[in-house]
Amino acid sequence: MAKIGNIELGPFPLLLAPMEDVSDPPFRALCKEQGADVMYTEFISSEGLIRDAAKSVMKLDIYEKERPVGIQIFGANLDSMLQAVDIVEKTKPDIIDINYGCPVKKVVCKGAGAGILKDIPKMVSLTKAIVDRTALPVTVKTRLGWDHDSIHIVEVAERLQDVGAQAISIHGRTRAQMYKGEANWHPIAEVKNNPRMHIPVFGNGDVDCPEKAVLMRDEFGLDGAMIGRASIGNPWFFAQVKHYFETGQHLSPPNIKDRVEMARRHLQMSIEWKGEKLGVFETRRHYTNYFKGIPHFKEYRQQMVTSDDSVDVFAVFDEVESVFGEAELSF
């Protein structure tokens, strides 16, 4: 039974990964409906928060219906991170998560995200300072190491636990790998099997089908799975995994009507939250997966991702439902 602080998560919870421009309130709401157990926000810059940057502050929006929810912050400057924690606390999340895993150059070059994997003592001291600053449970998301020659995740996880981290999510790649190659879950299992570890250890990376979630649970013995890219344009993934856990059978894939309705709701909620322009633009990344596997669909997808007016996008949704309503699909 996984537990973060006093938050009971049940056996092998499924966590929605913090994904930039993806894990926003509309998408989190859809994933929650489909069975995601823990939500994490997009990662938020500590420097942006303390400077009251509009984009960073907007990411603090959380809603009662999505709890338990964690707000993820990143940064390398101690004072900025502590000030960011104070700001985050005021929004009353259930968890504060620290991003030590983002591999993107513009983050890493400032010593933040996965950049801190080059300085483990700083990673540990920063975590301790944040734990000491807040009464909320603090969790960490990180990677195996900076590169293949610096995979010390067993020691790192133990040290983070010792300074108060209450859960750790580990992506099974190094920073050098970015998102290339296959995720290696064996070092994550070594963390879990360390007899000194008592906090939950969640696996992340390449959980893209229910069978892999079962593998992570049964063969690698982890406490839960953090789901990222497999959920983009496919909030049903959480329900599919849970159905497979319960029955050993695959859940029937969503039909055209289901897909159109999900895309329609996603766009509408995005517009309500971000406004017309941003809502239309940032929902585009989901359409390829929402309508994956439909033959002769290129023309409709092109209209969806090039239309700047939501009225036009909604019209395409209606046409798709009319034209492809009887198509047999599979993810």
Catalytic positions: 102
Torsion-angle region of residue 21: left (phi > 0), alpha (psi -120 to 50) or beta? left
Angle between helices 186-193 and 153-162 (to 10 degrees): 40
Beta bridge partners of 69: 39
With residue 47 as reference, give the H or E element that holds it: helix 46-50
- CA-wise closest residue to 227 among 245, 247, 212, 246: 212
DSSP 195: T
Give the separation between CA 88 and CA 134, rounded to whole angstroms: 10
Place of tokens 């983009």: 232
The tokens describing 51, both together, are 């400077």
Strands 69-74 and 168-171: unpaired
Give the separation between CA 161 and CA 118, rounded to whole angstroms: 19
DSSP state letters, 104-164: -HHHHTTT-GGGGGG-HHHHHHHHHHHHHH-SS-EEEEEESBSSGGGB-HHHHHHHHHHTT
Neighbour tally for 207: CB within 10 Å: 27
DSSP 14: E
Per the document, the length of the chain is: 331
Neighbour tally for 265: CB within 10 Å: 15
Beta bridge partners of 170: 142, 203
Neighbour tally for 201: CB within 10 Å: 25
Cβ(232)–Cβ(196) under 8 Å?
A: no
